Chain A
């Protein structure tokens, strides 16, 4: 959804320099998800559905608490439940709210070939503008967290907007507002990082020696961060990547291949132009057409 009230910092497939934007005086925003406080109640999922007016299908149970079982164009956030037996033999039920991480260096935006379909606002939020989306699915490839989903109905890409419409008018995202235990908090990235440190100290005092903040450097940090009890093993949390990177294909596309292919395209156009100037328009004779019709009727 196009939202004009937030300053755009970056646009997909746009080489013209972005006009200098006014940086938010408080800096970038961040949502902090404290996995150690989360009880997996799914209130955030429901609030997301209500605020964004999304209604997924009534699915089936496939032997887990995760429902819907995966992110879809109608489910922008889902809870993922992982059962973990510690080396000491104790059980842990690691419940992670999954959804867009709002990377500072967004792979989706880099991969997107359609100008303006993906934008990053000055506050760090990465948003999809469906009116510019061509449904190519490159954002899916570009995302190191496997988040965007292509709608089967309108073939456009959808994901969490971090409630950019709410944030633009000074409100917290719907999931944050509804979270009953305060496991999801929202504020400036600076304050959230600071708050996370206090939470990590508490977890360490309770025996989680490797508690830490998940704010992966490989994507330039994220505007959705996790407090994890086992920050050394993020993959325990239903496969949260340990060191997410933008896919080499996308990097290649953006870094080397894209200028090269742009040059190739330009070359092709140039060659075409000279061909036209020297030979004239490509024309078919009447005989050619008759032969073609014969071939078609034989089939």
Chain B
């Protein structure tokens, strides 16, 4: 979330799209209720199904799954055509006036630089034009034909209300009603927020859908505002924290990145990431990258990381390709992997195309499962009848189950969607032989290190040199780890202005990332967490919920990254004079000498508002980007591409360009492409999702959850049920190219057939949650059906849009 849960109450318009907050986040949804009750906020829900969120919405509109870019692109067109944008905001805080290179183009659904063999773009033309001073050229009048404003207007001109209706199936009248409601937040004193989740992320164009939404919010001047932003509602209680600490296979903690194969030298690696300002007097905060990086290396390898050995740069792997989940399963299925350690993860249920995962797991020599529950993955070898028809005698994989504690059985911090690090305390002792993940990992490490010490190896240094400063080496405590992430001084740190003064003594915890240095004198395991355990102790454990300004900014409750800032880009909530755009919702303001207010300013504290420094300090432009430059795999402006399993077989925006049917820049493995179904054989559009009553595959182990939602079902619209002769409560079989499931048919009015390009398209809803372990009625893993293809940028699987065939069982 750019903002946070409580802040939703400050919104005037709430758009829930690509998510179902009432269903999946019922507790956080209370803030929607608050906004409705106290601000008279209006709730809009756009979803393939009429959901629990829709049941309390003011306006609901249906949409065909996977066509959100057309819908949102249509909103962008509407706002630009009607000129309902926040002018002061977009002119000064975004790149609308920036001029783009002449060789940039977009034709027939493809941007300049496409290589169809590699399915990749040469992105060199996706850039701004530079002046002689090295800075980007701009045209503040926005008249230049190649300024971002003109290019964007031209790009989305095709996204007419007619096109939206044709592609999304959303009736024009509903679409225009929603456009009008969103446009009502263009004035500076009105704000809209967006709540989304996996309904946007889990598409082969997922990241671009989210980008389109962010662009819409920028046009309306809603980013940085209280009650605004673009807010990802995270699924697991600590998935935000895991992402922050480097969940993605190409990430290091704090969104630093691993080097790639071509980056063998540290200076080269740092230069590519130490971004210089693209406009005069911009902060370009990533200029500090070396400080964050060197402090990380000091935290990991301590004394072994020195200036002489480039801070142990050679110890880091250099990626030849991303090793994301889909890649790992592919390697497994190819028999190229010996072992797999599966920690807090149930890939047999959670990765796409269960049959492929099963095949991969069966080819491993060993599988280690660390989990509090007996997961399907740990029993993948068990024949569970039709839902897992394997022959255990043919599977040689040795499976080790290491029972772990669950979150309530250990101390630690959880990072919520709003980036709050909230410390929690153990509520109960773990049962049986369960041990915390930290203990298990520590012991594993100590044994591996011991073997390297005894027997040597090709390159044992990274293991042998790893800093392990914990009092009890076999049991590092959550407190020790938290302090390590937060960072400390390794030597006495002198004041930059007055070297006779010492700011921090050696060994003292640091107050924040501003104190990090690139000379090896500080250590910090995750720069964005710097200060969470500062000189004054554990700030994550704070529980002061006072809200002095009344807008929900409880700065004394826990600690938020970065720097306890609650609303990102909050400088953009104030105008060029430093006055809040909306005097009713004052966040931060310039008091004549410094920035102050209800939040920690996301800006240089003493920089006057009229100095020309832009509010988006992480961008080298200093402003927000409509034109993504080389940031995205598919192109600088989001364009609609069909799901890989499309009910149309072509892209209605580019019917004559087969290369532009589905995401041209997505990585697809040959085998997975062969496993894609066609509409002739699988005529129904399916989407998967979660239910309030359950949490993933965990709560089927809990009696209460099973009582309130006992048995697997699929949701089928009345029209389709009638067509297929299916009655409510009957057993049905749902097949895709990759397998089938059987479940109870829940026949509903809430899924209506859509007319897409003149033909009727039926959508089918498939809740996940069932499997072959647990107390619930046994069922089929829903990922039996899903296709193995990921988003072009981050490889999130396309769980939300694929083709199936429904029939009576």
Contacts and interface: CB of A to CB of B under 8 A. Distances in A.
Given A85-B749, A91-B749, A60 B710 contact: yes
Contacts of B58: 206
Given A36-B56, A39-B23, A41-B52, A57 B750 contact: no
A67 B691 CA distance: 13
A287 B665 CA distance: 105
Contacts of A206: 58
Contact of B692 (A41, A49, A92, A202): A41
B49 to A, nearest CB: 10
B535 interface: no
Nearest to B692: A41
A182 B775 CA distance: 31
A181 B33 contact: yes
Nearest to B708: A42
A182 B30 contact: yes
A39 B26 contact: yes
A183 B36 CA distance: 13
B26 A63 contact: no
Interface string B478-494: 00000000000000000
B748 interface: yes
B218 to A, nearest CB: 29
Nearest to A83: B749
A61 B29 contact: no
A17 B26 CA distance: 48
A59 B710 contact: yes
Contacts of A63: 713, 728-730, 744-747
A93 B47 CA distance: 14
A91 B26 CA distance: 21
A181 B29 contact: yes
A39 B53 contact: yes
B26 A43 contact: yes
B159 interface: no
A90 interface: yes
A92 B55 contact: yes
Contacts of B56: 36-39, 181
B40 A205 contact: yes
Interface in B40-56: 40, 50, 52-56
Interface string B760-794: 00000000000000011100000000000000000
B22 A39 contact: yes
Contacts of A55: 703-704, 707
A71 to B, nearest CB: 13
B379 interface: no
Interface string A217-260: 00000000000000000000000000000000000000000000
Interface string A50-81: 10000111111111110110000001000000
B262 interface: no
A39 B40 contact: no
A58 B728 contact: no
Most buried by B among A42, A95, A182: A42
Contacts of B709: 42, 61, 67
A27 interface: no
A106 interface: no
Given A63-B746, A205-B40, A91 B729 contact: no
A61 B30 contact: no
A182 B27 CA distance: 10
Contacts of B27: 180
A44 B709 CA distance: 14
A40 interface: yes
Contacts of B706: 58
A176 to B, nearest CB: 14
A65 B748 CA distance: 10
A124 to B, nearest CB: 27
B255 to A, nearest CB: 32
B712 interface: yes
B52 A40 contact: yes
Contact of B55 (A60, A64, A95, A205): A95
Interface in A82-141: 83, 85, 90-95
B749 A42 contact: no
A61 B704 contact: no
A92 to B, nearest CB: 7
B54 A93 contact: yes
Contact of B711 (A60, A93, A202): A60
A67 B60 contact: no
Nearest to A95: B55
Contact of A39 (B29, B707, B775): B29
Contacts of B29: 39, 180-181
Contacts of B752: 91
Given A39-B55, A63-B744, A58 B26 contact: no
B673 interface: no
B22 A61 contact: no
B123 to A, nearest CB: 44
Contacts of B53: 39
Contacts of A37: 33, 56
B693 interface: yes
B701 to A, nearest CB: 12
A46 interface: yes
A45 interface: yes
Contacts of A94: 55
B749 A61 contact: no
A61 B692 contact: no
A50 B710 CA distance: 17
A20 B692 CA distance: 48
Contact of B707 (A58, A92, A205): A58
B319 interface: no
Contacts of B728: 62-64
Interface in B677-719: 692-693, 703-713
A243 to B, nearest CB: 26
B746 A180 contact: no
A67 B776 CA distance: 13
B178 to A, nearest CB: 14
Given A49-B704, A92-B55, A202 B37 contact: yes
Nearest to B22: A39
Given A40-B55, A57-B707, A63-B744, A93 B750 contact: yes
A84 B181 CA distance: 25
B708 to A, nearest CB: 5
A38 B705 CA distance: 19
Contacts of B40: 202, 205
Contacts of A49: 704, 707
Given A91-B750, A180-B27, A181-B26, A39 B710 contact: no
Contacts of A180: 26-27, 29-30
Contact of A58 (B37, B746, B777): B777
A182 B32 CA distance: 11
Interface in B43-92: 50, 52-56, 58, 60
Contacts of A65: 746
A181 B30 CA distance: 4
A162 to B, nearest CB: 21
A259 B777 CA distance: 53
A111 to B, nearest CB: 30
Interface in B413-472: none
Given A63-B728, A181-B56, 10 more contacts: A37-B56, A43-B26, A59-B710, A61-B744, A67-B693, A67-B710, A90-B60, A91-B750, A180-B30, A202-B40
Nearest 6 CB-CB pairings of A with B: A63-B729, A63-B728, A39-B22, A93-B55, A61-B711, A41-B26
29 contacts: A37-B33, A37-B56, A38-B56, A39-B22, A39-B692, A43-B26, A45-B708, A49-B707, A50-B704, A58-B710, A58-B777, A63-B728, A63-B746, A67-B693, A83-B749, A85-B749, A91-B50, A91-B60, A92-B55, A93-B52, A93-B750, A94-B55, A180-B29, A181-B26, A181-B30, A181-B56, A182-B30, A202-B36, A202-B37
Interface of A: 36-43, 45-46, 49-50, 55-65, 67-68, 75, 83, 85, 90-95, 180-183, 202, 205-206
